[in-house]
């Protein structure tokens, strides 16, 4: 199976040769030259190699154009002094919206709108080549108009999304650049806008979007909905409403974060309730169904007329799958007295930390660009933010455990200079998190790493213990209530819970192979296999690896089960008993019928004429 021991050794050995990260806030890692007006920064890390991609946009001969730089795990720029500039498309001279993601096969894809209102996707391999051409691939058959979003798929491809403010367009692009069908989201009555994506089962996607209607000058009536699609364009269930309609300014958009269970959290700050800005949280499962009954959502803090709670950013605890959300508190009168709070919210909307925990108090400065990321092992999280007036500021970071207790505090950059922070952080991968910014005073792009212990500079990747499940077993079950034939599988969870389990089923007759993704908290699974001969294998999937196959108590790495059918209607008596089941569908092993206790059983066996039948029998011993 997939293991990273050799990769980790190679990464660790590279530190002595060309380490770039430093633990000095006065000397952050310079990664490229740029113009003073550069911005629109996005970061994304390959979870396997630890390479980080940074994208920024700036004015150039072909408009407000994307630029990208690749950093090795130790922070060394790989694409020259100024990175790679996407030069061939004709781009607008203003910011029409850009997006970027690392793919799961080592590359990066940038998605953007051109000056003639078309969307393109450009893929760059780790070696700096353009497998889809330097101009990239046109998306959505030339439609889409404005905002861009992109999300990595499971097979090296990407999901791309765009909008023209009336409809939202969705399309899957395979790793080789071939295009899936264009999916148009719209009803002709509302504007379908500001779509965001989270991954769900089977390389499918859940799109969280806003339905809008114009209310009056600069104001819209907004609702938030979610719907799922497969890469071949099939819709997964109906659209589901997450947020009730509110009238608000058109610029206030929602945000989403995957929950690690094929669903996600959405959140938005608006002044729809009590005319005071607050951030409201919603959750949906893998089918898009809302798990918070109140369509108003859960407020991170009880609404107050004197304070606003906004500018939120969230992450998810990989163990409990709760949302950890940090947000800014400002006074409603001057919006100058700034503080940072955080809260923990469950999938059902419970606020675990009440009215929140104070992260940074008001000290005369304001806070902005709040970023929150959970540690890979689920032991805590970090909050990174700008401290200053937006023109003269420093980058600060604090660490907390999952109970909200402080662990450490760190200044990541020093010196009061103007900067534009990245819109997102990479999240923790192989023991480090990366953020980037533009130093507007000297025209440079800088980056800095930080570990879960608050350390910066060279970080040794953690030893990955890719633990497999144990005691893997299976049994043939006939479900009387549902009249289903299947296999019940069970196992012992590893000491470190994975992100999920992969259960592989191989049909020994027709050689079909099926992969089931099983929740990390499960230790049993019922497969409605039907009649057949099956081999099952089980692995645990972590952030950066997939374990070996689980072993049975006998030391085998598979479970073999034969599921036979039962013919119900015959008058012939059973002459040969093959299987006995109790009414819970469990198989009973006895050498003689007289060993059965009192109760009702299902007998499976052969009749005189050789047919396989089942009989319900009642055992009553005097």
Give CA separation, 105 vs 133, 259, 434, 487, in Å: 18, 23, 20, 34
Under 8 Å between Cβ of 204 and 197? no
- Is pLDDT at 511 greater than 80 in this prediction? no
User: What is the Cα–Cα distance from 257 to 471, expressed in whole angstroms?
Assistant: 34
Residue 217 exposed, middle or buried by CB count within 10 Å (0-12, 13-18, 19+): exposed
| Residue 237 DSSP SS3 | strand
User: What is the Cα–Cα distance from 596 to 621, expressed in whole angstroms?
Assistant: 9
Q: Give the mean model confidence (pLDDT) for residues 248-277.
A: 89
| Tokens representing residue 253 in the block | 């958009």
Q: What is the pLDDT of residues 329-384, one digit of tens each?
A: 999 888 888 999 999 999 999 999 999 999 999 988 889 999 999 999 899 999 99
Closest CA to 547 of 555, 538, 556: 538
CB-based contacts of 617, cutoff 8 Å, min separation 6 = 600, 601, 602, 603
CB atoms within 10 A of CB 90: 11
Residue 77 exposed, middle or buried by CB count within 10 Å (0-12, 13-18, 19+): buried
SS3 annotation, 57-121: EEEECCEEEEEEEEECCCCCECCCCCCEECCCCCCCCCCCCEEEEECCCCCEEEEEECCCCEEEE
CATH number of 470-563: 2.60.40.10
Q: Give the mean model confidence (pLDDT) for residues 418-435.
A: 92
Q: What is the pLDDT of residues 608-619, one digit of tens each?
A: 766 666 677 777
Domain locations in the chain as residue ranges:
470-563, 574-619
| Residue 12 DSSP SS3 | helix
State the pLDDT at residue 479.
59
| Tokens representing residue 202 in the block | 């089977």
Closest CA to 371 of 418, 431, 428, 414: 428
| Tokens representing residue 405 in the block | 């207790």
Under 8 Å between Cβ of 519 and 469? no
Under 8 Å between Cβ of 385 and 311? no
DSSP category for residue 271: S
Grade residue 462 by pLDDT with cuts at 50, 70 and 90.
confident
| Tokens representing residue 433 in the block | 């998190």
Under 8 Å between Cβ of 411 and 25? yes
Closest CA to 218 of 254, 247, 186: 247
User: What is the Cα–Cα distance from 400 to 165, expressed in whole angstroms?
Assistant: 40
Q: What is the pLDDT of residues 128-179, one digit of tens each?
A: 999 999 999 999 999 987 888 999 998 899 999 999 888 999 999 999 999 9
Residue 83's region, left for phi above 0, alpha for psi from -120 to 50, else beta, is: left
Grade residue 218 by pLDDT with cuts at 50, 70 and 90.
confident
- Is pLDDT at 524 greater than 90 in this prediction? yes
| Residue 9 DSSP SS3 | helix
- Is pLDDT at 567 greater than 60 in this prediction? no
- Is pLDDT at 187 greater than 50 in this prediction? yes
User: What is the Cα–Cα distance from 600 to 597, expressed in whole angstroms?
Assistant: 9
Under 8 Å between Cβ of 222 and 245? yes
Q: Give the mean model confidence (pLDDT) for residues 433-454.
A: 92
State the pLDDT at residue 18.
42
| Residue 351 DSSP SS3 | strand
Grade residue 481 by pLDDT with cuts at 50, 70 and 90.
low
Run of H or E residues at 27: none
| Tokens representing residue 486 in the block | 């299947």
User: What is the Cα–Cα distance from 459 to 50, expressed in whole angstroms?
Assistant: 12
Residues above pLDDT 70, as percent of the chain: 92
Angle at 318 between CA 157 and CA 252, to 5 degrees: 70
Q: Give the mean model confidence (pLDDT) for residues 273-285.
A: 90
DSSP category for residue 43: E
């Amino acid at each position: 199976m997939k293991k990273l021991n050799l990769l980790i050794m190679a990464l660790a050995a590279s530190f002595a040769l060309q380490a770039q990260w430093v633990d000095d806030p006065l000397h952050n890692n310079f990664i490229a030259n740029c113009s003073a007006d550069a911005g629109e920064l996005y970061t994304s890390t390959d979870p396997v190699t630890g390479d980080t991609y940074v994208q920024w946009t700036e004015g150039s001969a072909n408009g407000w154009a994307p630029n990208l730089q690749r950093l090795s795990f130790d922070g060394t720029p790989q694409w020259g002094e100024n990175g790679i500039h996407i030069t061939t498309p004709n781009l607008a001279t203003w910011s029409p919206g850009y997006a970027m993601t690392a793919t799961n096969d080592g590359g990066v894809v940038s998605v953007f709108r051109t000056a003639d209102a078309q969307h393109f996707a450009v893929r760059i391999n780790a070696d700096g080549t353009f497998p889809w051409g330097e101009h990239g691939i046109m998306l959505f058959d030339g439609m889409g108009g404005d905002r861009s979003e992109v999300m990595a798929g499971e097979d090296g491809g990407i999901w791309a999304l765009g909008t023209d403010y009336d409809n939202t367009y969705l399309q899957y692009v395979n790793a080789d650049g071939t295009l899936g069908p264009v999916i148009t989201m719209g009803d002709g009555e509302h504007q379908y806008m500001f779509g965001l994506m989270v991954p769900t089962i089977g390389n499918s996607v859940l799109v969280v979007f806003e339905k809008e209607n114009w209310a009056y000058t600069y104001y819209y009536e907004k609702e938030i909905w979610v719907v799922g699609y497969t890469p071949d364009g099939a819709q997964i269930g109906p659209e589901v409403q997450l947020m009730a309609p509110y009238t608000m300014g058109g610029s206030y958009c929602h945000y989403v974060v995957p929950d690690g269970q094929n669903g996600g959290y959405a959140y938005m700050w608006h002044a729809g309730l009590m005319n005071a800005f607050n951030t409201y949280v919603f959750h949906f499962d893998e089918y898009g169904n809302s798990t918070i009954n109140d369509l108003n959502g859960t407020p991170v803090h009880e609404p107050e007329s004197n304070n606003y709670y906004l500018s939120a950013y969230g992450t998810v605890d990989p163990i409990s799958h709760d949302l950890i959300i940090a947000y800014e508190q400002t006074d409603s009168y001057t919006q100058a007295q700034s503080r940072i709070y955080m809260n923990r919210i469950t999938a059902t909307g419970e606020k675990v930390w009440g009215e929140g925990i104070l992260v940074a108090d008001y000290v005369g400065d304001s806070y902005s660009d709040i970023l929150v990321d959970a540690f890979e092992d689920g032991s805590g999280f970090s909050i990174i933010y700008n401290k200053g007036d937006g023109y003269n500021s420093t980058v600060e970071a604090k660490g907390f455990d999952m109970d909200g207790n402080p662990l450490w505090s760190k200044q990541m950059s020093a010196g009061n200079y103007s900067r534009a922070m990245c819109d997102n952080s990479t999240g923790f991968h192989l023991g480090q998190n990366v953020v980037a910014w533009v130093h507007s005073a000297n025209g440079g792009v800088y980056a800095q790493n930080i570990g879960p212990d608050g350390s910066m500079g060279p970080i040794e990747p953690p030893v990955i213990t890719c633990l497999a499940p144990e005691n893997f077993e299976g049994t043939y079950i006939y479900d009387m209530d549902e009249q289903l034939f299947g296999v019940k599988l069970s196992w012992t969870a590893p000491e470190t819970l994975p992100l999920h389990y992969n259960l592989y089923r191989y049909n020994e007759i027709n050689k079909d192979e099926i992969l089931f993704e099983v929740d990390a908290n499960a230790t049993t699974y019922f497969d409605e296999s039907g009649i057949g001969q099956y081999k099952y294998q089980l692995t645990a999937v972590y952030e950066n690896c997939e374990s070996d196959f689980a072993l049975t108590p006998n030391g085998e790495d598979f479970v073999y089960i034969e599921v036979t059918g039962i013919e119900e209607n015959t008058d012939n008596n059973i002459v040969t008993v093959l299987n006995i089941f109790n009414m819970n569908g469990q198989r009973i092993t006895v050498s003689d019928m007289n060993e059965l206790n009192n109760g009702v059983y299902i007998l499976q066996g052969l009749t005189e004429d050789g047919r396989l039948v089942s009989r319900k029998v009642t055992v009553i011993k005097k």
